[in-house]
Amino acid sequence: MTVAAGLSRRSFLVASLAGGAVLTLDASIALAAPQAEMAADVLNAFVRINADNTVTIGAKNPEIGQGVKVMLPMLIAEEMDLAWDQVKIEQTDADEKRFGPQVAGGSTATPRNWLPMRQVGAAARQMLVAAAAKKWGVDPAGLSTANGAVLHAASGRSVTYASLAKDAASQPAPDLAKVALKDPARFSIIGKSKPGVDVPAIVRGQPLFGIDTRLTGMLHAAVVKCPAHGGTVASFDDAAVKAIPGVVAVLAVNSRLVPEGRQDTLLIVADSWWKASQAREKLAVKWDDAAVSGFSTAGYEAAAAKLIAAPAQVSLFKAGNADTAIAGAAKVVKADYDYPFLAHATLEPQNCTALFQDGKLEIWAPSQAPAGGRADTAKFCGLSPEDLTIHLTRIGGGFGRRLMNDYMVIAGQAAKALPGKPVKVLFDRTDDLRHDFYRPAGWHRFTAGLDETGALVALKDHFVTFGKDGKAIRAADLAPTEFPGPVLPNVDFGTSYLETNLATGWLRAPTSNAMAFVFQSFLDEVAEAAGLDLPELMRRTLGEPREVPGGRVPFHTGRARGVIDAVCRTAGWKGRKKGRGFGFYFSHLGYFAEVVDLSIADGVVRIDKVWVAGDVGSQIINPVNALHQVQGATIEGIGQALVNQKIEQENGAVTAGNFGDYSPIRIDAVPREIAVEWVKTDFAPTGLGEPALPPVIPAIANAIYSITGKRHRRLPLEML
């Protein structure tokens, strides 16, 4: 599948001459030549050819550790026929009108950009070849390229890209849909491991992240929020705070989580963040929180127990007649599963720096979705989106949290209230954990029917989740096409809704991180009742290789079977075995199957090894980074399965205050080995940030059952 990137031919290759020394194919170019490279030629919105025949390539998407800052330039460099040691990489600013979608989320960078980035490289190469052909008076068909040079084999001549760049601008802009792309058999960069461009600076502790932003005369803002989510400011007394030397202002702003005209965030702005943070103790605030202070974890549990025992409020998907099929089934399997709210717990807490002057707002933001932040910040600051300049900083962990941009909206309002002074807004760890956009909790009641042969013939799921007005809130939904629903003759998926005051959002492998656990764990129960192991039940249920329509993209049973067979082969799976568990999931266009080997000593689970097989299409663009993405996702899934990660509420407020209350996975809990195998198929490449995470959670749960004989149907998998 290819997702359109929204980049026009003109946005790549509009030819114009800018000031003689700098040649640009986009008059509003972002990659303007820096002072050290004033002899450079900007070839298009992504490419600057330097006088020494190195080429600076712009990386347009936010970098959150997923390696996109290297991967996207690799696509351009490949089609330009560059040697990798000629390539320099710069982070672009946020500007979707020039660069198309700039999002780090949903594992979309590869499917969105696989063709467009290659096309821009090929278009640049075509124009350089045309310039050389004109210079030599030869047919372009007789020319070739290699290592940043155009070659004419017949005459033995060659010329560097740097020598041709100015002449290339006079060539007609190619139609991007028609430029010739390389045969993958000729790839010299794609498919070869390239290290992260920022790694040396990170190791040396050089400033790259949003939290590192330092500007002359910068002020610092600490946040004060209502403990109960959704509470707003009724009144506040800031006299004691303003009496502290160095405190500049106390501001009331809207983080966009409450209606316009209300304020839910107070900012103490001072000449140091520590001073601003300490001053919070002296701020007297009255909150309007009566409508949101009644929510609690215990309340959700009690309400969910009542709802799940009643008929579902809303039907999500029905096929055949599940009730009739279950009533006539040879065997019936029933089980309840649930999972908690989760926080993102990014290592770098939320932050943003903004400067307002001359009616314009300049922002330095570690945002995963800067376009959304631009629109929201402009709205709450009373500005036009065009009045904002957004510099993308490297992000110290996102996992979906930085899609929400509340930190940008807050910083923009602070800067506008204090024109001419840069203001950095910084959450501390407690702020970050207690005012997140959480992965929603959920409860499932499953019923399955098996026929006399052990075939799964019916499945029901009553899903209790969070919603309002008959619809799920953000990230709390169940897809009607959830496997195995679309391949079964009798299915009934229904849902019922609870209310919550918590803001919810997408967490790495959103919804999939929960659904894989409940569905694959329950299917392991079904497989056991059928006298099978889970891989064999999956094979029989998948049936013949085919595309199953429905949902945003079709589900391919053959690709699912491919990764199941591959991981069973590499792990030496021979059926049920103590200490071993299996899980599969299709998530964010990727098919992944995983086998976990674990042991238990003194009630502590130790993951010994994880085998992973993944199908993300025909190409692994940057193998070393792909390996790291899969290993990192697997480790994060292990943390969600086994570590004390659950967000709880009392009186509308989140109780976790630091990593002692909500722990990230520790090094000693990481398996000795995570072995990864790629199953390459004839499909366009897709992303890797998320799809490897979900299967490891049910694989762990199923492995624990294999040792203890006890099903753990609630996350985290606490050993009792």
What pLDDT sits at residue 82?
98
| pTM across the whole model | 0.94
Q: How many CA atoms lie within 13 A of 250 on its CB side?
A: 21
User: What number is the average pLDDT over the span 629-655?
Assistant: 97
In sequence order, the 6+-apart residues with CB closer than 8 A to the CB of 409 are 253, 254, 255, 256, 373, 376, 377, 380
Tell whether the model's pLDDT for residue 414 goes beyond 90.
yes
Tell whether the model's pLDDT for residue 178 goes beyond 50.
yes
Tell whether the model's pLDDT for residue 149 goes beyond 60.
yes
pLDDT tens track for 323-353: 999 999 999 999 999 999 999 999 999 999 9
What pLDDT sits at residue 37?
36
> By the 8 A CB rule, do 98 and 371 touch?
no
Q: Give the separation between CA 44 and CA 124, rounded to whole angstroms.
A: 8
What is the crossing angle of helices 370-381 and 406-417, to 10°? 40
Q: Give the separation between CA 459 and CA 21, rounded to whole angstroms.
A: 68
Report the CATH number of the 9-199 domain.
3.30.365.10
CB count, 10 Å around CB of 668? 6
Residue carrying the six token digits 């199908």: 615
Give the start-end residues of each E strand in 176-294.
219-225, 232-237, 247-253, 265-270, 284-288
Q: Give the separation between CA 688 and CA 690, rounded to whole angstroms.
A: 6
Question: Could you give the strand order of the β-sheet that contains 590-601, starting from the edge strand earlier in sequence?
Answer: 580-587, 590-601, 604-615, 673-678
| pLDDT band with cut points at 50, 70 and 90 for residue 8 | low
What pLDDT sits at residue 45?
86
What pLDDT sits at residue 719?
64
Percent share of the chain, pLDDT over 70:
94
User: What number is the average pLDDT over the span 630-637?
Assistant: 98
Q: Cβ-count burial of 185 within 10 angstroms (0-12 exposed, 13-18 middle, 19+ buried)?
A: exposed
Phi–psi pair at 551, nearest 5 degrees? 75, -170
Q: Tell me if domain 9-199 and domain 297-341+438-708 are identical in fold.
A: yes
Domain ranges for the chain, please list them. Answer: 9-199, 214-290+350-426, 297-341+438-708
The CATH class given to the 214-290+350-426 domain equals alpha beta
What pLDDT sits at residue 13?
39
Among 306, 290, 178, 151, smallest CA distance to 234 is for 290
Q: How many CA atoms lie within 13 A of 690 on its CB side?
A: 27
What pLDDT sits at residue 44?
72
> By the 8 A CB rule, do 475 and 506 touch?
yes
* Gyration radius from the chain CA atoms: 28
User: What number is the average pLDDT over the span 181-190?
Assistant: 98
pLDDT tens track for 81-134: 999 999 999 999 999 999 999 999 999 999 999 999 999 999 999 999 999 999
In sequence order, the 6+-apart residues with CB closer than 8 A to the CB of 242 are 250
Percent share of the chain, pLDDT over 90:
91
Question: Could you give the strand order of the β-sheet that contains 423-426, starting from the edge strand earlier in sequence?
Answer: 247-253, 265-270, 219-225, 423-426, 351-357, 360-365, 388-392
What pLDDT sits at residue 425?
98
What pLDDT sits at residue 43?
63
What pLDDT sits at residue 15?
26
Angle 466-349-212 from CA coordinates, rounded to 5°: 150
Task: Give me the CATH topology for the region 297-341+438-708.
Answer: Aldehyde Oxidoreductase; domain 4 (3.30.365)
Question: Mean pLDDT for the chain?
Answer: 93
Q: Where are the alpha helices (DSSP H) in 293-422?
A: 297-309, 322-327, 370-381, 406-417
What pLDDT sits at residue 42?
60
What pLDDT sits at residue 170?
80
User: What number is the average pLDDT over the span 18-29?
Assistant: 28
What pLDDT sits at residue 40?
54
User: What number is the average pLDDT over the span 248-272?
Assistant: 98
Q: What share of the chain is helix, strand, coil (3-state, %, to 5)?
A: 30, 25, 40
The SS3 call for residue 192 is coil
Residues, the chain: 720
| pLDDT band with cut points at 50, 70 and 90 for residue 263 | very high
User: What number is the average pLDDT over the span 159-180?
Assistant: 91
Q: How many CA atoms lie within 13 A of 321 on its CB side?
A: 6
User: What number is the average pLDDT over the span 624-646?
Assistant: 97
pLDDT tens track for 28-41: 223 333 333 334 56
User: What number is the average pLDDT over the span 439-449?
Assistant: 98
| pLDDT band with cut points at 50, 70 and 90 for residue 23 | very low
What pLDDT sits at residue 19?
25
pLDDT tens track for 356-409: 999 999 999 999 999 999 999 999 999 999 999 999 999 999 999 999 999 999
Q: Cβ-count burial of 235 within 10 angstroms (0-12 exposed, 13-18 middle, 19+ buried)?
A: exposed
What pLDDT sits at residue 172?
85
User: What number is the average pLDDT over the span 250-274?
Assistant: 97
Residue carrying the six token digits 């097989």: 613
Among 303, 215, 248, smallest CA distance to 498 is for 303
